[in-house]
Structure 1
Amino acid sequence: MTTAPAIEIAGLTKSYGDHAVLRGVDLSVPPGSIYALLGSNGAGKTTLIKILSTLLHADDGRASVAGHDVADQPRRVRESISLTGQFAAVDEILTGRENLVLVAQLRHLREPHAIADDLLSRFDLSDAGGRRVATYSGGMRRRLDIAMSLVGDPPVLFLDEPTTGLDPQSRIEVWRTVSELAGRGTTVLLTTQYLEEAEQLADRIAILHDGRIIADGTLADLQALLPPAAVEYVEKRPTLEDIFLTIVGSNS
């Protein structure tokens, strides 16, 4: 039995005037996986996400999300996805619970308060649900933002550089959240500039460069592209991130 890709892209192109951003992108994302899209600033990552989420039209090629054509069935695509950008789209005046209830009501879902309480529990925010979001840490805001994206259980989630500006501890909180989402069957397309983030989270990794996918595979597949490393004994010292998390953890 074959399983259709959650996201499928073929020959996608996009230009702004004379500047070609996407030059024929091909990509296939299996359902229930975390797929990391790597690329430097200006590589076209956000442009690709905007096309897939129907916020931007491609010049040529085709793309489908959850089996729906992005160009011909934009409404069906929007019903199947959620998008979380680089900055948390939460209302700081409202409480965490009120943010979630509002989104559920806007989506015309039944029992919005029950939906909010379930998501607060899933994202370890129950104790903070009655507090104004202005009092939340960066990691808590990002977790709430992702929780809001999941109201209505969309099968596909786009995360566009979700840990930009977060401290190391908050980044790890978000990583745990994203891993749990994939474990529940959500397909996650993650754009990031943090290579460690892709190593920690992704089932597969694609590298977007100069408007094209130039490498695509598991971490082991990509590692195999390089010559074998010479084996030497090296004393491993803790990284600054290891030190920071150890010190903070011991004083929390």
Structure 2
Amino acid sequence: MGSRVGAVIDVAGLQVRFGTVDAVACVDLQVEAGQALALLGRNGAGKSTTMRVLAGVVPPTSGRAVVAGHDVRTEPLLAKRSVGYCPDVGGLVPRATPWEHLQLSARLRRLEGWEPRARGLLEQFDLGDVAHRVTAGFSHGMGRRLSVVLAALHEPEVLLLDEPFDGVDPLGVEATFAVVEDARARGAAVLVSTHLRDLAVQVCSEVAVLRGGVRVATVSADHMAGDEGARAYRALLA
């Protein structure tokens, strides 16, 4: 079965089981070109596992997961080429510098003329001064910012940002917002997983709420904003 018309990210009936535990029980999501969707939910709701499936890191147990027209199960390499992924944890080599991370990414993806964009992103995320320092001494927030830079470097059709704001200062938040807006302007589909509802509604147009590995609602970002949004969110998690 192919992807639904207009959906760059198309997830239907997704289940991911580890042993006897359903990390994702039944998730349906669609993100169109130029759209940013936030995944909200408590720890263990299935947000990161869903992102890992779309990034090609974890295989689905059942259901469909399609990115940019490529099924992650049957066309894994093509799917991965379409994606820029910022994982929730890890992903960086402690003994490598930011510039070496970018060089490796560019070589693996066979990018040409990538250096000016790489320098611009590093400056945008206030990492220009540490471009040639090994990441072992980086703070958690610096690592988060570099992970977003690496995800965005090749201007992917699908941008997956898992907890990009965790421990990040206002400058990093603003830079991440700009990356999301740039991706949307290019017609990319963006999925942002975060536990920070107030930031999610600022950067995304829609919000999907996960609970117990199931999508319980998809609503407009406006519906999740402010005090009324906080009450609505709590009700969905109850």
Asked whether the two chains share a fold, i.e. TM above 0.5, the reply is yes
Contact 1:82 1:149 (C-alpha < 8 Å) held by counterparts: yes
1:55 shift after superposition: 1.7
Deviation per residue, 1:86-143 (Å, 9 max, x gap): 2464456555434322321232323453453354466565565456656766555433
- Within the alignment, does 1:68 sit opposite 2:70 as a pair? yes
Contact 2:144 2:166 (C-alpha < 8 Å) held by counterparts: no
Contact 2:125 2:172 (C-alpha < 8 Å) held by counterparts: no
Q: What is the rounded CA distance, in whole Å, between the counterparts of 1:185 and 1:37 in structure 2?
A: 20
Residue in structure 2 matched with residue 196 of structure 1 by the alignment: 198
Number of residue pairs aligned between Structure 1 and Structure 2? 225
Residue in structure 1 matched with residue 11 of structure 2 by the alignment: 9
Which amino acid is the alignment partner of residue 80 of structure 1? S
Which amino acid is the alignment partner of residue 13 of structure 2? G
1:65 shift after superposition: 0.6
Structure 1: stretches of 5+ with no match in the other structure: 230-252
- Within the alignment, does 1:217 sit opposite 2:222 as a pair? no
Contact 1:14 1:22 (C-alpha < 8 Å) held by counterparts: yes
Structure 2: stretches of 5+ with no match in the other structure: 232-238
Q: 2:106 aligns with which of 98, 104, 107?
A: 104
Q: 1:95 to 1:51 in 2, by over 3 A?
A: closer
1:81 shift after superposition: 0.4
Which amino acid is the alignment partner of residue 106 of structure 1? L
Give matches, 1:1-252, under 5 Å.
Answer: 4-87=6-89, 89-91=91-93, 94-120=96-122, 123=125, 125-126=127-128, 129=131, 139-168=141-170, 170-221=172-223
* Aligned-pair identity (%): 34
Which amino acid is the alignment partner of residue 212 of structure 2? D
Q: 1:210 to 1:184 in 2, by over 3 A?
A: same
Q: What is the rounded CA distance, in whole Å, between the counterparts of 1:94 and 1:18 in structure 2?
A: 38
Which amino acid is the alignment partner of residue 31 of structure 1? A
Structure number with bigger Rg: 1
Q: What is the rounded CA distance, in whole Å, between the counterparts of 2:163 and 2:219 in structure 1?
A: 20
Q: 1:181 to 1:138 in 2, by over 3 A?
A: farther
TM (normalized to structure 2)? 0.78
Q: 1:184 to 1:141 in 2, by over 3 A?
A: farther
1:193 shift after superposition: 0.8
More divergent stretch after superposition (141-150 vs 109-118): 109-118
Which amino acid is the alignment partner of residue 150 of structure 1? A
Q: What is the rounded CA distance, in whole Å, between the counterparts of 1:171 and 1:83 in structure 2?
A: 17
TM (normalized to structure 1)? 0.74
For the aligned residue pairs, the C-alpha RMSD in angstroms reads 3.1
Q: What is the rounded CA distance, in whole Å, between the counterparts of 2:91 and 2:62 in structure 1?
A: 31
Contact 2:197 2:224 (C-alpha < 8 Å) held by counterparts: no
